[in-house]
Chains A and B, each alone.
Chain A
Amino acid sequence: MRELTYTAAAREALTEEMARDSTIFVVGEGIGPRGGNFGTTLGLYELYGPMRLRDTPIAERGFIGMCTGAAMAGARPIVDFMMVDFILDAMGEIINQTAKMQYMSSGRIKMPIVLRGSIGIGKAAATHHSGAYYSIFANVPGLRVVVPTTPYDAKGLFKTAIRSDDPVIFLEHKLLLNNKGPVPEEEYLIPFGQAAISREGKDVTVVAIAAMVQEALAASDALAKEGVSVEVIDPRTISPLDIDTILASVHKTGLLLVVDETPAMCGVGAEIAAQVVDRGFDDLDAPVRRLNGSAVPVPYSPTLEGAMLPGAGSIAAALRELLAE
């Protein structure tokens, strides 16, 4: 199978969908002729012109609110907000308007809007360019929250996001954007709410989010050399969350570690742990463990940044501790 980068795979999804549906348009800062800070729309302006690739003022609240209105009027906007940190200026629009519109209108108005952009720690991007915030979005009724990890997932989930009549927060980790992986030529879509088993194993389960999947896989390689078989699960969508796949894995292994670069407090790991304890308590041979990024604004210097973040080494150490319980 051919290989594409994560960014190219998502861009291919966008290109195909824009050809299929003329009501799709993209807004963002520099996503027109320039093709986006991360190359997300490279080449599309020449194909589709300024009404469908719209460079905006730096006014996140404004253009997200604008796109909410456009979705209400039957268009399918995609907001390319570059860094997730920037849309914090638009939280009122997203939470009070975009997410509630279908309910407030008793289902008579759909909200087909995708809010896509980058997340993640690890590029010395410092605190205003390194956030993720998916736990906050997952706490909001009415939002889908998608965090793809592989090029294959990026394309298949982006197509589902674009065709969804629900608002989707589509978050792309900066450390994954240039990764290459197999992507089929033929069309495919990946439904929301289906986790991927990134590596099968039988001794212990690791649920990892976004770039932490890579770290968890590296830790699994290390433990394989010690004779330990680790199962790695990538939820791919935070909301809806595929708890059944996680429960089935815990049923098999009896042990669960959740790895997430965002702070532990009220996070995805807390939610997964609570649901597993609630529904899979009898399968657990030890308490659910969490490994998180530290609760600090993300620092700039690589030595400080590295110190706050889980990695293959700390994941392997946490797994050894869990196995020793």
Chain B
Amino acid sequence: MSMEKKPTSDQLLSLYRVMLTIRRSEEQLAKMFAAGLVHGACHTYVGEEAVATGVCAHLRAGDMVFSTHRGHGHALAKGVSPGALMAELLGRETGVSRGRGGSMHLFSPEVGMMGTSGIVAPCILQATGAAYAFKLKGLDNVGVAFFGDGASNNGAFHEGINMAGAWKLPAIFVCENNLYATEIAYSSVTANPEVATRAASFGIPGVAVDGNDVLAVYKAAEEAVRRARAGEGPTLIECKTYRTRAHAEGMRDAGYRSQDEINAWKQRDPIATFRKHLLEDEDAGEPELQKIESDVESGTVAAAKFAQASPYPDPATALTHVFAEETNR
């Protein structure tokens, strides 16, 4: 985990706090799903927290993130509160999308979270478009797309990255290669197991990193964000990672991958690994880490209470926001 420019102690502890917040929030959501409180889908990010955390650590509120169906971690890392996330999955008015979205449509433009999506790959095009708008307006903001290995075989991957490369747009394409698109092994649907190497065909840099190592992701993203802000164009980052829960809550997690494989990846848990590293490198002591853990724990409990106490949206508002100009429908 060597770094050229080592993050400060505060930055390191912040990475730990964000990863833990994602983990605890999703464990809470899994409980709520099991209790029947979540009305629709719930795809957790457990095991992949280092990716969103390492990338979003470099982003400002004006930078924009475009995400996937597995987007709770991206939303939280970009600044959405656990309460607003949980309330959304519970279908409440206080939810991040005010009950119109659920897990797969999390929107918080106030913090640059521009949506999770039930469709694979449009996020790549939209991040490219946001980057175009930033360049048009002369801003040094960046557009970031998070997507899975599945999206890398979709036409939008080719079309979006090609345009971003051709026009040197400030975009960052973060592929979370967790080996499976839903339950289809990546190796069974592509002859090239490497996503990062595809960058060469677009004439842009492509880097592969250990997606379970938050510092490796942090470092790759740091360079990608620097390049983007400096007008040097987009970067493709492939983060090799793994989800340790099922594709979605309530789904069987068998028949397409082995328990041995899952156990092996659990041994490489990004949060436990990072905690051990912080202690070994003496970047943090037990008391500091335990303080963060108890803060996150109480925050999670408060968020769950807030979500469950929140009202459902008024049915009379079901037809609002189809158009900006509601008159003359």
- Using A106-B100, A142-B322, A142-B323 as known contacts, say yes or no to A74 and B133 having CB atoms under 8 A apart: yes
A166 and B163 contacting across the interface, CB-CB below 8 Å: no
**B233 at the binding interface (Cβ < 8 Å):** no
List the B side residues contacting A63 at CB < 8 Å.
159, 163
List the A side residues contacting B129 at CB < 8 Å.
65-73, 75, 77
**B98 at the binding interface (Cβ < 8 Å):** yes
Report how far A57 CA is from B124 CA in the complex, Å: 16
- B321: contacting residue among A57, A67, A97, A107, CB under 8 A: A107
A164 and B325 contacting across the interface, CB-CB below 8 Å: yes
Residues of A within 8 A of B (CB-CB), count: 49
Report how far A65 CA is from B105 CA in the complex, Å: 17
Interface string of A107-123 (1 = CB under 8 A from B): 11111000000000000
Report how far A74 CA is from B129 CA in the complex, Å: 10
**A25 at the binding interface (Cβ < 8 Å):** yes
B126 and A74 contacting across the interface, CB-CB below 8 Å: no
**A303 at the binding interface (Cβ < 8 Å):** no
List the B side residues contacting A105 at CB < 8 Å.
97, 100, 107, 109, 115, 321
- Using A75-B132, A75-B137, A97-B122 as known contacts, say yes or no to A65 and B156 having CB atoms under 8 A apart: yes
Scan residues 73-132 of chain B and give those whose CB is less than 8 A from a CB of chain A.
97-98, 100-101, 105, 107, 109-110, 114-115, 117-119, 122, 124-132
A51 and B135 contacting across the interface, CB-CB below 8 Å: yes
Contacts between chains A and B (CB distance < 8 A), count: 159
List the B side residues contacting A164 at CB < 8 Å.
324-325
Report how far A63 CA is from B163 CA in the complex, Å: 8
**A62 at the binding interface (Cβ < 8 Å):** yes
List the A side residues contacting B323 at CB < 8 Å.
102, 142, 144, 166
**B64 at the binding interface (Cβ < 8 Å):** yes
- Using A57-B166, A97-B119 as known contacts, say yes or no to A73 and B133 having CB atoms under 8 A apart: yes
Report how far A159 CA is from B132 CA in the complex, Å: 23
**A23 at the binding interface (Cβ < 8 Å):** yes
Query: Can you name the residue of chain B whose Cβ is closest to the Cβ of A107?
Result: B321
B325 and A97 contacting across the interface, CB-CB below 8 Å: no
**A52 at the binding interface (Cβ < 8 Å):** yes
List the B side residues contacting A25 at CB < 8 Å.
132, 136
**B160 at the binding interface (Cβ < 8 Å):** yes
**B206 at the binding interface (Cβ < 8 Å):** no
Report how far A193 CA is from B115 CA in the complex, Å: 31
In the assembled complex, how far is the CB of residue A21 from the closest CB belonging to chain B, in whole angstroms? 11
B322 and A70 contacting across the interface, CB-CB below 8 Å: no
Report how far A77 CA is from B130 CA in the complex, Å: 11
B321 and A92 contacting across the interface, CB-CB below 8 Å: no
In the assembled complex, how far is the CB of residue A32 from the closest CB belonging to chain B, in whole angstroms? 12
B324 and A68 contacting across the interface, CB-CB below 8 Å: no
Report how far A144 CA is from B322 CA in the complex, Å: 11
Report how far A59 CA is from B127 CA in the complex, Å: 16
Query: Can you name the residue of chain A whose Cβ is closest to the Cβ of B113?
Result: A105
Report how far A71 CA is from B109 CA in the complex, Å: 13
**B192 at the binding interface (Cβ < 8 Å):** no
In the assembled complex, how far is the CB of residue B131 from the closest CB belonging to chain A, in whole angstroms? 8
**B155 at the binding interface (Cβ < 8 Å):** yes
**B329 at the binding interface (Cβ < 8 Å):** yes
A66 and B132 contacting across the interface, CB-CB below 8 Å: yes
In the assembled complex, how far is the CB of residue A242 from the closest CB belonging to chain B, in whole angstroms? 9
- B130: contacting residue among A54, A56, A64, A69, CB under 8 A: A69
Report how far A70 CA is from B136 CA in the complex, Å: 10
Query: Can you name the residue of chain A whose Cβ is closest to the Cβ of B93?
Result: A106
Closest 7 CB pairs of A and B: A69-B129, A62-B159, A65-B125, A69-B126, A165-B324, A73-B133, A107-B321
A-B residue pairs in contact (CB < 8 Å), sample of 18: A52-B136, A62-B159, A63-B159, A65-B128, A65-B159, A66-B160, A71-B133, A72-B109, A72-B129, A73-B64, A93-B122, A96-B122, A103-B322, A104-B105, A108-B109, A108-B110, A109-B114, A192-B328
Which A positions have Cβ atoms within 8 angstroms of B? 23, 25, 51-52, 54, 56-57, 59, 61-75, 77, 92-93, 96-97, 101-111, 141-142, 144, 164-166, 191-193, 240
Seed contacts A23-B137, A59-B163, A69-B129; 16 additional CB < 8 Å A-B pairs: A25-B132, A59-B159, A59-B162, A61-B159, A64-B125, A65-B122, A65-B125, A66-B128, A69-B143, A70-B130, A72-B115, A72-B126, A93-B122, A142-B323, A166-B325, A240-B329
